[in-house]
């Protein structure tokens, strides 16, 4: 059978970055083809090329044997290629129905609401999904939103479905349901490109696997011709992950005690609901949970970006829920924010100026009301050296740095004051293996000095490797703690879908 999609030697660069170097692979009808690669290997860029969002600089894409040049998402859709993006392409304020309707071709301008609702409902029933067409999308769970994305593509009769890490937002049980739907689609002769870095899923569902590394497709393996360890070694290559010895010096002193905390989001729903958490001195406390279950709100409360509607936060003996005390306390907490560019840095300002963002008022950086430019420069030189930041010429605005270097700027700034508490959100997201290992080392070294860390991450492996304890969140509540040395992935998986864990209290 001829391949539905064939990609040859595609290359795409952005100013200063080679996102894709040389990628080739193909997908046949009725095949589930997995793209496997570390963060930053170029998977997302490749997908954006396939969906017509980016123009490749070089290379050939053919669909059903015909060479194709996409200039917009419209062209790609017209060829029957549809994608479920990692960041959903939904309009939150619109109803489920309107979101699906938006994606349909050939809808007359004056459409019959009834007719289209029936059509969509039929498809929903066929795959046995549970969706109310009339509620606004923002009220739905992330898992349900993903179903909308899938229905959009099915309604358009797409022949090739691209799913970008679809299970990152699902519980293991929901993921199983998704796989059943995918298998059904496969039987109908659809092609599926599945992107993931979770090895077990890849093993379970793939017909073929192509490994991406640093923007190149380095190997393609057919089912039966691969196992977890060969894929892992292909994916990681010869890069060594820096390892370290965990010093178990956790004391029972509680540095941060969150009691019955509730936070409402902008739309009046609860992000955190009667949430409790205790952080001990010198520990790395991992937070596990499917994305969108309150992790972000937790970090925002601790970073002062959100106010609480109920509950208490105690730092030692002191109640810091009250905002003034909280602000001063927060200034002493180190944070590695999730979204580096939106809250971590002042993008138009230089590295020097970004490095003092939290300590600009301290005596070492000012003379009376004036800034001490010399001291600021000296501090920057030190940090750039110590954290190996590639910062470009003096005065370069931070926005021009690469993701890894921006992350280093943030970490350098946050850890330079030897904080007692660190809140780290997805600190290695989007980093190459080297930088990620470096970040792990910095966090572990901090713990050795007595720093307590709340580590929020999506990768269970990362959590299991680093944490002293793992707390699992579900729908804004704490489900329980587990001990990473004794737990299993299955146990955490169950807890992530709301089942009580084995260690409801402190271990």
Binding residues (CB under 8 A) for another protein: these are 15-16, 51, 53-55, 63, 66, 68-69, 71-75, 77-79, 83, 85, 89-94, 98-99, 101-103, 105, 107-111, 113, 152, 266-268, 303-305, 327-328, 330-331, 335, 337, 342-349, 353, 357-358, 360-361, 366, 369-371
Nearer to another protein, 423 or 433 (CB): 423
Nearest to another protein of 283, 300 (CB atom): 300
Q: In angstroms, give the least distance from the CB of 389 to another protein.
A: 18
Query: Residue 105 corresponds to which tokens in the numbers above?
Result: 């071709």
CB of 414 to another protein, least distance (A): 10
How many Cα atoms occupy the beta-carbon half-sphere of 332 within 13 Å?
Answer: 12
Q: Minimum distance between the CB of residue 52 and another protein, rounded to whole angstroms?
A: 9
Q: Which CB atom, from 75 or from 274, has the smaller least distance to another protein?
A: 75
- Contacts of 393-396 with CB under 8 Å at 24 or more apart are 394/350, 394/352, 395/350, 395/352, 396/350, 396/351
Q: How far apart are CA 33 and CA 40, in angstroms?
A: 19
CB of 49 to another protein, least distance (A): 11
Label residue 9 exposed, middle or buried (CB < 10 Å: 0-12, 13-18, 19+).
Answer: middle
Cα separation, 388 vs 379, in Å, equals 14
- Tell me how far CA of residue 467 lies from CA of 45, 429, 473, 487, in angstroms: 31, 17, 15, 12
Nearest-CA neighbor of 273 among 474, 423, 424? 474
CB of 3 to another protein, least distance (A): 16
Q: Give the pair of three-digit tokens for residue 257.
A: 């005690």
Nearer to another protein, 235 or 256 (CB): 256
Residue closer to another protein, measured from CB, 66 or 385? 66
Strand order in the sheet with 421-425: 334-336, 421-425, 452-456, 284-288, 469-474, 477-482
Residue closer to another protein by CB (options 175, 334) is 334
- DSSP label of 311: E
Q: Are 261 and 309 in contact (CB under 8 A)?
A: no
* Residue 399: HSE in the Cβ half-sphere, 13 Å Cα cutoff: 5
- Which one, 220 or 265, has the nearer CB to another protein? 265
Nearer to another protein, 79 or 503 (CB): 79
Least distance to another protein, CB of residue 311, Å: 21
Output the smallest distance, CB 73 to another protein, in A. 5
- For residues 366 and 358, the answer to whether their CB atoms sit within 8 Å is no
User: 47 and 23 in contact (C-beta within 8 Å)?
Assistant: no
CB of 433 to another protein, least distance (A): 21
């Amino acid at each position: 059978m001829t391949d539905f999609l064939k990609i040859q030697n595609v290359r795409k660069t952005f100013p200063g970055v080679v996102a894709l170097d040389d990628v080739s692979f193909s997908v046949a009808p009725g095949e589930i083809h997995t793209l496997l690669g570390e963060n930053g290997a170029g998977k997302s860029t490749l997908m954006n090329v396939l969906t017509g969002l980016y123009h490749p600089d070089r290379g050939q894409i053919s669909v059903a044997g015909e060479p194709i040049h996409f200039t917009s998402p419209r062209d790609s859709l017209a060829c029957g290629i549809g994608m479920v993006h990692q960041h959903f392409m939904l309009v939150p304020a619109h109803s489920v129905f309107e979101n699906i309707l938006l994606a349909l071709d050939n809808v007359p301008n004056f459409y019959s609401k009834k007719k289209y609702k029936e059509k969509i409902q039929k498809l929903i029933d066929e795959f046995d999904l549970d969706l109310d067409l009339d509620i606004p999308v923002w009220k739905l769970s992330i898992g349900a939103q993903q179903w909308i994305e899938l229905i959009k593509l099915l309604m358009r009769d797409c022949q090739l479905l691209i799913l970008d890490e679809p299970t990152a937002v699902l519980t293991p049980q929901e993921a199983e349901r998704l796989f059943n739907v995918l298998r059904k689609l496969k039987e109908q002769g659809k092609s599926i490109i599945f992107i993931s870095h979770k090895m077990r899923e890849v093993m379970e569902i793939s017909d073929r696997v192509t490994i991406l590394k640093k923007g190149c497709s380095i190997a393609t393996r057919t089912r039966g011709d691969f196992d977890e360890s060969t894929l892992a070694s292909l994916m990681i290559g010869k890069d060594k992950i820096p390892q370290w010895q965990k010093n178990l010096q956790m004391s029972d002193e509680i540095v941060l005690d969150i009691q019955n905390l509730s936070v409402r989001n902008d739309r009046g729903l609860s992000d955190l609901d009667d949430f409790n958490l205790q952080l001990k001195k010198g520990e790395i406390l991992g937070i596990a949970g499917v994305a969108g279950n309150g992790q972000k709100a937790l970090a925002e409360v601790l970073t002062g970006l959100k106010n609480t509607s109920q509950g208490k936060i105690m730092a030692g003996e002191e109640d810091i829920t009250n905002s003034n005390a909280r602000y001063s306390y927060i200034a002493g907490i180190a944070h590695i924010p999730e979204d580096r560019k939106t809250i971590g840095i002042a993008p138009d300002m230089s590295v020097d100026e970004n490095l003092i963002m939290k300590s600009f008022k301290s005596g070492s950086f000012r003379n009376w009301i004036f800034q001490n430019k010399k001291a600021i420069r000296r501090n920057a030189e030190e940090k750039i050296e110590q954290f190996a930041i590639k910062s470009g010429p003096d005065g370069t605005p931070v926005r021009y740095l690469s993701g890894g270097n921006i992350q280093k700027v943030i970490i350098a700034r946050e850890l330079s004051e030897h904080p007692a508490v660190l809140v780290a959100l997805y600190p290695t997201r989007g980093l190459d293996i080297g930088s990620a290992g470096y970040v792990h080392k910095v966090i572990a070294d901090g713990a050795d000095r007595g720093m307590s860390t709340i580590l929020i991450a999506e990768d269970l492996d990362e959590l299991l490797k680093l944490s002293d304890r793992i707390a699992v969140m579900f729908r804004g509540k704490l489900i329980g703690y587990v001990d990473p040395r004794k737990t299993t992935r299955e146990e955490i998986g169950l807890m992530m879908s709301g089942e009580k864990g084995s260690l409801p209290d402190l271990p």
